Structure formats: C-alpha cells, structure tokens
Amino acid sequence: MTNDTDAAQPALEIVEFTDPLCPWAWGSEPVFRRLRAALTGDTRVRWRRAYCILFDHDDDPAPDPAAETAWYARYVEDISAHTHAPRALRLSRVAASSWPASLVAKAAEAQGEQVADRVLRRLRETVFVLGEPADTPESALAAVSGVPGLDVHRLATDAASAGVLESVRADRAEARSPVEDVLSLRADGSPHPGAAKETPDGQLRYALPTLLLRTATGHRAVPGWRPYEAYVSAVVELSPALLPAPTALAPADALARYRTLTEPERTALTDGGAWPPAGAVRVDTGNGPLWLHPEEAAAHPAVAPAPSSSP
C-alpha cells in the first residue's frame, strides 16, 4: 500500500475521512487496522487520510461547559457500547478544536506511514483513554512525544507551517463536498449509517468515519459504522484483482507492530494465542483495557508523563 506522496497513479485510492477526536472513528480502528494490514505492500493501492475538523474554530461556545461535557461523555459512552472501544473513565472537557491534532497528524505524514499511524493513534488516545483531548498545539505535541522514530522538533515546525495548514484546509474542504451516495441514507440496522452531516454554516460533510474508494472508472462510499466485510466488498467491486488478504499475527507480534491494542483489536488482529504477551502493560478504561507494548508504556502519557515537546 502506498501513501499520498507516491508519484505513480494507483489502481485504487482509498480516502479515509476522519478526525483524531471522533468517537466513531476511534471505534472503527480495529476494522481499519485490519484492512490496511490486508492491503499493505500492494503498490496498486493508495490510502490517504483527510482530516475533516469535527470541532471547528467557529463553533459556538457552550453556555454551560460542565453540562456539555457531561452530555458528551454520555454520548461517547453510548457509542462505545456499540463499538466496544475504550472510553475515558472521566472526560475533562469537550475538545475546543480539532485543528491542533489534525495539523500534528498531517505533519507527521512527512516522517513516514508508520510514524504517522502511531502519532494519530496517540492523539486519539488523549481523549478516549486519558480523557484529556489534545486540542491545543502544546498538548498535541506533548501527547506524541516519545513515539518511536518521531522527530518531535521537526514535527513542531511542520505542524506550524503554512503548507500543512493549507493541506488540512484542503482536507476540510474535500470533506464538505460529499458524493451523492451519502446525501440520504436510510436506516439499515447500523447504529451509525453515515449519512452526510449538516455543518453549522449550512454545508454538508461526510459523516465520520467514511471511506471513499475510487478507481479510474468508478467509486464506492462506505460511510459510518460498518463491518470489515463491507469494506472488502467495496474493494472487490471496484478492483476484483485487489482482494484483501487478511493476516492474523501472534499476540506478541501484533503488540510490537501496533504498540497499543484494544480488546476489539486483539480479536480482529491476532491469531487468538495466549494473552497478554510477556511485558504487556494494561491500562484500564471505562470500557475495557488498553494494552501497551512495554516500550510504548515507557513513553505513553497513560503510564508515564509525556516528555517536554519544547525545542
């Protein structure tokens, strides 16, 4: 699987419309990790993320922040009942903005796919494990300090650059031009069917998450909360030769690869061997544990204070 910096035109492009602080996107991580792994190494596929800015700068402030936080915590709890994804034992506040985390996630892409994946994962965990959303430049950079292979000084410079800002602005605009397929979707048994959402300024944007799969001859949109098989069907319909080949890893190998695993990810990504692997660190949440590789635990803010991000 190639990334968005590759020059060759892929046979299949997968655009993941997402936000680092979206609870449905967090709950979809087991399926997306499985699909990405099944397509990894196939140079005919390009997967890129478009950051949609769920919490925007111009959103009206809540008249009662404490009441809003309590409401949003219940909302996340309801979603986690469907996805079985971890949720924070206590949410400190509703995120003020998605821009800082999105800029950091986008900037990390310049340091390679694996680093970018791990940076985005840390940003998601700030709100859904720690209950402290990374909604300022300082907190976003502090959250990802210690990610293996990450040059945090370069990241800080890139995240503050005009180029990265323009890239995220383009993502936001792209998310607000949804394909017709998602404009009106009927309830189909999914708790989150994924119909396009109206924004406060009257535009429409993709519901999060949505995968848009495109080839030279057509596209398929797979919005909302979906099983793995729905994404595989979309791939095969567009490109029959690209049948994803899922691989199940031994527990220790999966934890070494992904660094942190939820219980749904353990089920989706491992071969069912003995769990937990030696040295794995358990972090309890409001909806099951998050498991950390011991090297990850040494720098993860859920276990150890994050190193300073200042140059």
The predicted pLDDT at position 4 comes to 54
The predicted pLDDT at position 305 comes to 61
What count of Cα atoms within 13 Å lies in the side-chain half-sphere of residue 276?
19
Query: Among the listed ranges 115-119, 132-136, 187-191, which one has the minimum average pLDDT value?
Result: 187-191
Structure tokens that stand for 211 in this block: 């995968």
Compute CA distances 276 → 58, 254, 280, 302, whole Å: 44, 11, 6, 18
Q: Tell which residue, 61, 64, 60, 143, has the closest CA to residue 100.
A: 143
Q: What is the pLDDT of residues 256-296, one digit of tens each?
A: 999 999 999 999 999 999 999 999 999 999 999 999 999 99
Q: What is the pLDDT of residues 143-181, one digit of tens each?
A: 999 999 999 999 999 999 999 999 999 999 999 999 999
Q: What is the pTM of this model?
A: 0.94
**Band (188; pLDDT cuts 50, 70, 90):** confident
Residue 187 has pLDDT above 50, yes or no: yes
Structure tokens that stand for 163 in this block: 């180029």
Phi, psi dihedrals of residue 281, rounded to the nearest 5°? -110, 125
Query: Among the listed ranges 18-32, 104-118, 186-200, 281-295, which one has the minimum average pLDDT value?
Result: 186-200
Q: Which residues contact 287 (CB under 8 A, 6 or more apart)?
A: 77, 80, 81, 84, 85, 86, 87
